[in-house]
Amino acid sequence: MRFRELTADVVIVGAGIAGLRAALAASGRGASVLLVSKGAAASPAVIGFNAPVACGDSAELFFRDTCVGGGGLNDRELARLLTGQAVEVLREFEGLGFSFDREDAAYDLLQPLGCSCPRLVHQSNHTGSASMALMREELSRRQVKEYAGVTALDLLLTRQRVCGLLAAAPLQDELWVISAGAVVLANGGGSGIYADSTYPDGIVGDGYGMAYRAGASLLDMEFVQFEPCRCLWPRKLGISTTLLAKGGELRNRLDERFILKRYPGGEGTVSKDMLARLIALEIKAGNGSEHGGVYLDLRMLPEKVLKRDHSMYYERFLRAGIDLTTERIEVAPAAHTFMGGVKIDAGCACGVPGLFAAGEVTGGIHGANRLGGNAGTEIYVFGKIAGASAAEYVQRNGQASIPDQERRMIAERFGHLQDGDASAVIQNAKALIRNTMGMYAGAVRSADGLAQAGRIIQELATEFKNYQAVSVRELTQLSELQNMILTAELVVAAAERRRESRGVHYREDFPTRDDRHWCKSIIITPGAAGHEMTAVARDGENSAEGSRAATTCQRGS
């Protein structure tokens, strides 16, 4: 194992859209920037983002929709920034030559669930990947280095200020000690702590762990969104719930369309959260399909709906040997976006000097649930703010150097690492967390289930507290595992504490919303005696709701 030393004004962890935007903003302010990422990001999957450009739409209406969608728990200041700066992002990208789909002169806007008018701007269905390519071109022109395959392990601190980052490059068998004036966390969310997730495997809550260990607070960790229908049999593949609106049917093992008991209008009339909940309840009641989901039957759809209008899914399944026009599949809810995360202020500062964060790793913007398309807006808007704030912080405060004592400690702690693979016990522990979270802390929760999850996670925390990694590869895996344990622990603790149902958090034992006691966000702060939880009152959505329903919008230019 070799140590490698690097220096930059601003180090950015994560090369999704939030990280790339931060890198551009920081380098645009003259900072030297270094970007590390360990692997795949969710951002290339972004179809589009919300921007209020339809006739009749406005930042105000967008703000109201966002607060209503968030069950009134949104951090209003952050939600204002999100909704107020979305159009600027659109214009900025157009200025760089990026084209959004139009029909005649007007934008071709889609209307995500929860938006009171069409609002999602997009370039076909690859806005995320195309905009990332554009940003990478610009970064490479500016000679900003992006190091892929490098996992950030922990922040380095001197006198409570961030002074750098410890990272691992397992393929090179190297440990990197990076001096930095400021660090931006853009690690994405944590849905990889669940057995079934729509996200890349490596998105497991590393940013939550890093920020929390450095002293930052996390909030709204109980709010995890679930995509209702991810195919689990015959192959694990994504499929769109919009096919239910076209007439697709969900059936249980008794061949009943169980959704009709609650929603006689059919599957297509049910919101995604409710759909995920009803499917999870049906499975829990023992009425699931052979492989633990429910059946999704699309065979009754006219062929053109699948083969022409939804050809992406039709072909994806066909490539996997499944013909959706003749076969039904088994689907179940899968973990999707984390609403909670690192607590930030309007400048993306995390309360630890020199530490900034943006994107899904942060919490508060979306409250208890996010509108479809709002994660896209978030990562473009806040990535830029975080990068700019970090660069300004370094201009004001200068570089911080890693103390010699810290360097000696790193050498002593890790100098013995040999070349080698990670032990299977770490993989087994990860699998146990994923199964536990899926079983007890998924779309349907209860006090008993959460307590059981808490016990299993505590046992794992104890087992791996003093585990000594023997190689860089194992250290990387161990770091992920410890972040998964912490993330799972905090999701479960917050879900236990919130004794009501709101947004994407559903408690079987407290099935209704309780504004009297719970119009609050749960904030978790690392304390001397463990996790300190406080609940801060939020404004609710009533004052933000206004004339939402009465407004009509049209496609706009």
Ligand X SMILES: Cc1cc2nc3c(=O)[nH]c(=O)nc-3n(C[C@H](O)[C@H](O)[C@H](O)COP(=O)(O)OP(=O)(O)OC[C@H]3O[C@@H](n4cnc5c(N)ncnc54)[C@H](O)[C@@H]3O)c2cc1C
Tell me which residues touch ligand X (CB under 6 A): 13-19, 36-43, 45-49, 151-152, 186-188, 198-199, 202-203, 206, 238, 337, 359-360, 373-376, 379
339 token code pair:
């609403």
Sign, CA dihedral 499-505-508-510, equals: positive
- Shortest CB 380 distance to ligand X, Å: 9
Q: What is the phi-psi region of residue 433: left when phi exceeds 0, alpha when psi lies from -120 to 50, beta otherwise?
A: alpha
Cβ–Cβ under 8 Å, residues 436 and 457: yes
| Count of beta carbons in the 10 Å neighbourhood of residue 334 | 25
**For ligand X, the closer CB: 374 or 389:** 374
505 contacts 222 by C-beta, under 8 angstroms: yes
Nearer residue to ligand X within complex by CB, 36 or 492:
36
Q: 10 or 519: whose CB is closer to ligand X? A: 10
Shortest Å distance, C-beta 151 to ligand X? 4
CB of 248 to ligand X, least distance (A): 19
Q: What is the DSSP string of 323-350?
A: -TTT--EEEEEEEEEE--EEE--TT-B-
- What are the phi and psi torsion angles at 269 (to 5°)? -100, 0
How far is residue 516's CA from residue 539's CA, in Å, rounded to a whole number? 12
Helix axes 127-141, 374-397, angle to 10 degrees: 20
Measured from the CB atom, is 153 or 324 closer to ligand X? 153
Instruction: Considering the complex, state which of residue 189 and residue 288 has its C-beta at the smaller distance from ligand X.
Output: 189
> Who contacts 189 (Cβ-Cβ below 8 Å, separation ≥6)?
42, 199, 203, 205, 337, 338, 341, 360, 361
Nearer to ligand X, 36 or 156 (CB): 36
Phi, psi of 194 (to 5 degrees): -105, 150
CB of residue 88 vs ligand X: minimum separation in angstroms?
17
Q: How far is the CB of 116 from ligand X (least distance, A)?
A: 17
Per the listing, tokens 């760089």 go with: 96
CB of 196 to ligand X, least distance (A): 12
- Residue 40 or 425: the one with the smaller Cβ distance to ligand X is 40
Cα 194 to chain centroid distance, Å, stands at 13
Burial class (CB in 10 A: 0-12, 13-18, 19+), 551: middle
3-class DSSP assignment, residue 436: helix
CA 415, CA 426: separation in Å to the nearest integer?
Answer: 21
Hey, what are 448's tokens?
A: 């008993």
Neighbouring residues of 409: CB distance < 8 A, sequence distance ≥ 6:
none
Q: Which is nearer to ligand X, 17 or 450 (CB)?
A: 17
Q: CB of residue 446 vs ligand X: minimum separation in angstroms?
A: 27
Between residues 86 and 450, which has the closer beta carbon with respect to ligand X?
86
| Least distance from ligand X to the Cβ atom of residue 76, Å | 20
| Minimum gap (Å) between residue 547 Cβ and ligand X | 25
State which residue, 376 or 449, has the beta carbon closest to ligand X. Answer: 376
Q: Measured between alpha carbons, how far is 332 from 444 in angstroms, rounded to an integer? A: 13
| Residue with Cβ nearer ligand X (39 or 292) | 39
Minimal CB distance residue for ligand X: 16
**Beta-sheet pairing, 237-238 with 106-107:** unpaired
Q: What length does the chain have?
A: 557
Nearer to ligand X, 45 or 432 (CB): 45
The three-state secondary structure class of 239 is: coil
Least separation in angstroms between CB 354 and ligand X = 18
Phi, psi of 64 (to 5 degrees): -65, -45
Smallest separation, CB 266 to ligand X (Å): 24
Q: Is 252 exposed, middle or buried (0-12, 13-18, 19+ CB in 10 A)?
A: buried
Residue type present at position 24: L
CA gap 438, 442 in Å, rounded: 5
In whole angstroms, the minimum distance from the beta carbon of 203 to ligand X comes to 5
* Minimal distance, residue 225 CB to ligand X, in Å: 9
Q: What tokens does 332 get? A: 């179940």
CB of 135 to ligand X, least distance (A): 11
Which of 45/134 has CB closer to ligand X?
45
Nearer to ligand X, 258 or 356 (CB): 356
Burial of 495 (0-12, 13-18, 19+ CB in 10 A): buried
